[in-house]
Amino acid sequence: MQQSARVLIDGPSELVFDYMIPTDMPIVTGCRVRIPLRNRDSTGTVLDIGPPPQTNFTLRPISSLIDPEPLITPTLMKLGKWIANYYVAPLEQVMRALLPESVRQDTHSEKTRKVVELTAMPATDDLEKIAKRAPKQHIILKLLEANAGAMPLKDLGGGSVSAAVKSLEKKGHVKLTEEAVRRDPDEDQEFLESKPLQLNSEQAEALKQILEPATNENGIPKPILLHGVTGSGKTEVYLQAVQHALDQGKSALVLIPEISLTPQTVQRFKSRFAALQDQVAVLHSHLSQGERFDEWHRIRNGQARIVIGARSAIFAPLTNLGIIIVDEEHENTYKQETSPRYHGRDIAVLRAHFEKAVVVLGSATPSLESFQNTQSGKYQLIRLTQRADSQAMPIMRVLDMRIEAQKQKGRIAILSDRLRVSMEKKLENGEQIILFLNRRGFARSLQCPPCGHVCECQHCAIPLTYHRTDDRLVCHMCGYQSLPPKKCPSCGDEAIRLQGFGTQKVEEVIQKVFPQARMARIDADTMRRKNALRDTLNKFKAHKIDIIIGTQMIAKGLHFPNVTLVGILNADLGLHVPDFRAGERTFQLLTQVAGRAGRGELEGEVIVQTFTPHSPSIQFARHHDFDGYAEQELQFRNQFGYPPFAHCALLGTRSTHERRAEFTLENLHKRLSKDLPPQIELGEPMPSPLTRAHGQFRYQLMLKSTSARALHQHVQRVLSTTPPPDDVTIIFDMDALGF
């Protein structure tokens, strides 16, 4: 039977249509084709092939095949289909993520430049004549002679010499050619080659296990979790493992959370492989379309064998992949926030499996998902327990802000006396300070300042969210509602109320207390400009700034030898949000931040201000005890059926009409509860913690399931048979990270 193809049409609106495949046309998915669209010719990419859909129209045939080879490798296509299925995302959206637009639509081409080549130097007396009659031509010839017979036209004077070049060309002395130039995103930077370090014994053992990984029953390498304390020299292990893959003739893929936040990691890779510069490609969201086009093709044609990039680089078209490294594997930035909502780390593990490559997930604070996989034997655990620079872990002091609040009569204190005094001392010594503000979500919980009590849902053990509009406390997992208490249920104080302050407020207060200090604020608002972050960090490094105030944006991977004090202003801000991962995130933040202090000769100090000093995530972080933390946290997750023991997904509706958003979700809820597979727990529909954003009302419900397959299949079935009204958007977030 004749097959048809779904084609993603090139052009700004990227429509999808079906076409018949002519019988003799060797089309596979991922090929680019010419097709008729209305009454003109168009181009597109084949998404899928199958039996023709049942319609009343006759499908038009594909006109011709553009590339004989698909743009996408078979493995990537397989990965794409898996993603579409698992994350319940349309294949065309997956394809957009998989293939950069500039590549797919071929709107960009190689950049070229004109080069003047010397073909025949005139004889001496001819040359003298030229010198007299046409001095410009003489200079050109002399320059070419001095520069090995070829120079870019631009360097000879560009347009101002084109007439002279033309006459020389006519006389047969030179030839004008075109040469492809690479648009290099790091053109303005120079990388000095760095030599491999002598590994310490832990590092050497880790490298050995990566090079000879344990395998599963199918002979496929088991994923490796490299748990190495901050400063243990994980990067050096990555570098040597990548070198090894290259030596074997294989390629390597290195994922980092976000390029602009971890410029040092890119620099370290570029420096180590400086001699192979043309083999290193960098992929991230700040590339221009042209740069992306060039990097992609350099990877596709095998020129670049090392790729460093953020989340989407997991789709880099490398072949013969030897190793994938996911640095800071616990980072949330690996999860894509628009459809397809894939998790870069999970896709890395899957891609490595498909390609029989080694995958190394590295972190000082592994995610509980990855850690649990080592406990169950699915992954291999490797540890680096010592700092490579053999420095002691900094001392972490936990300050009880309830006492501070009592001193200040219930007003929320931003700066404790202890932190202020410590800051004074460091500034006097000419040392530097980083102050962190744990990012708060939009969700607000109720916490009592004098005693630290937080109102929680009894069923779900997460903080209840306060909804100002109807003065209600709501659980965002199960939908339980209650009235906010007038007095603290624990200590009876009436001071229980909303609290919170942003980075801006903190900056004001610090500025008032330390008018002489030079400070900079780093958060999403101040770092919008391209390179703003890099510039600020460079200034900090050059000690033109004394204090940096920031969100956890800056918690990762920074090396500042002169930073001797790190303050966490309010550890509770991130701790009491209605998310079962709040404790894990706080533990991660504190541990990562602690690793930032005292990276040089000077001893570091970390001060944590909190209203709940007894909280396990704070106490275990303080003792640098990952295992202790993981054990109690996994127990809690197991008891309440949270990941990694179940899959959590979020189903949401968004609309400018509140009722429509609500009604559509209620309808979906009704459909979902019919024939609900027993593994799935279905939550109640409710307004999202961020009830309204960008003019749209948001409603959501939670789904929990011990079987991922049961979950995505059930949702897929309901969504495909319940088309939403035109003015409602449906969001499905499988393995959602935020609620």
Nearest of 449, 567, 549, 557 to residue 502 by alpha carbon: 549
Interaction partner, residue 200 (ligand ADP, Zn ion, none; CB < 5-8 Å by kind): ligand ADP
Q: Select the residue interacting with ligand ADP from 104, 138, 234, 637 (CB under 6 A).
A: 234
Under the criterion CB under 5 A, does residue 103 sit at the interface with Zn ion? no
Interaction partner, residue 234 (ligand ADP, Zn ion, none; CB < 5-8 Å by kind): ligand ADP
For residue 731, the minimal CB distance to Zn ion (Å) is: 21
Is the bond preceding residue 394 a cis peptide, omega within 30 degrees?
Answer: no
The residue count for binding Zn ion (CB under 5 A) is 7
User: 222 and 378 in contact (C-beta within 8 Å)?
Assistant: yes
Q: Which is nearer to ligand ADP, 232 or 372 (CB)?
A: 232
Which residue type occupies 275? A
Under the criterion CB under 5 A, does residue 77 sit at the interface with Zn ion? no
Which residue type occupies 714? H
Which residue type occupies 416? S
Q: Which is nearer to ligand ADP, 71 or 593 (CB)?
A: 593
3-class DSSP assignment, residue 318? coil
Under the criterion CB under 5 A, does residue 455 sit at the interface with Zn ion? no
For residue 627, the minimal CB distance to ligand ADP (Å) is: 18
Interaction partner, residue 197 (Zn ion, ligand ADP, none; CB < 5-8 Å by kind): ligand ADP
**Segment 181-220, which members bind ligand ADP (CB under 6 A)?**
197-200, 203
Q: Which is nearer to Zn ion, 297 or 704 (CB)?
A: 704
For the chain, state the CA radius of gyration. Answer: 30
Residue 455 counted as an annotated binding residue: no
Q: For the chain, what is the largest distance between any 2 Cα atoms, rounded to a whole number of angstroms?
A: 105
Q: Select the residue interacting with ligand ADP from 232, 251, 260, 373 (CB under 6 A).
A: 232
Q: How far is CA 212 from the centre of its chain?
A: 29
Cα–Cα dist 609/599, whole Å: 22
Interaction partner, residue 55 (ligand ADP, Zn ion, none; CB < 5-8 Å by kind): none
Cα–Cα dist 307/276, whole Å: 12
Q: Which is nearer to Zn ion, 33 or 475 (CB)?
A: 475
Residue 491 counted as an annotated binding residue: yes
Candidate segments 35-43, 381-389, 449-457, 491-499, binder of Zn ion by CB under 5 A: 449-457
Q: Which is nearer to ligand ADP, 83 or 388 (CB)?
A: 388
Nearest of 691, 581, 683 to residue 335 by alpha carbon: 581
**Segment 463-492, which members bind Zn ion (CB under 5 A)?**
475, 477-478, 480
Q: DSSP letter for 15, please.
A: -
- Token pair recorded at residue 275: 């001699």
**Segment 368-387, which members bind ligand ADP (CB under 6 A)?**
none
Q: In what order do the strands lie in the sheet with 481-482?
A: 465-467, 472-474, 481-482
Antiparallel, parallel or unpaired: β 680-682 and 728-734: unpaired
Q: Select the residue interacting with ligand ADP from 7, 151, 254, 388 (CB under 6 A).
A: 388
Under the criterion CB under 5 A, does residue 153 sit at the interface with Zn ion? no
Antiparallel, parallel or unpaired: β 465-467 and 358-363: unpaired
User: 700 and 693 in contact (C-beta within 8 Å)?
Assistant: no
Candidate segments 137-145, 224-232, 282-290, 524-532, binder of ligand ADP by CB under 6 A: 224-232
Under the criterion CB under 5 A, does residue 715 sit at the interface with Zn ion? no
Q: Which is nearer to ligand ADP, 203 or 438 (CB)?
A: 203
Q: Which is nearer to ligand ADP, 200 or 267 (CB)?
A: 200
For residue 162, the minimal CB distance to ligand ADP (Å) is: 50
* Interacting residues of 103 by C-beta distance below 8 A, sequence separation 6+: 71, 292, 293, 296, 297
- Token pair recorded at residue 262: 């971890």
- Token pair recorded at residue 258: 């976000």
Candidate segments 153-161, 227-235, 248-256, 296-304, binder of ligand ADP by CB under 6 A: 227-235
Interaction partner, residue 672 (ligand ADP, Zn ion, none; CB < 5-8 Å by kind): none
For residue 199, the minimal CB distance to ligand ADP (Å) is: 5
Cα–Cα dist 378/644, whole Å: 13
Residue 648 counted as an annotated binding residue: no
In Å, how far are 11, 88, 106, 432 from 14, measured between CA atoms?
Answer: 5, 19, 14, 51
Cα–Cα dist 341/343, whole Å: 7
Q: Which residues are annotated as a binding site for Zn(2+)?
A: 448, 451, 457, 460, 475, 478, 488, 491
Binding site for ligand ADP (CB under 6 A): 197-200, 203, 228, 230-236, 388-389
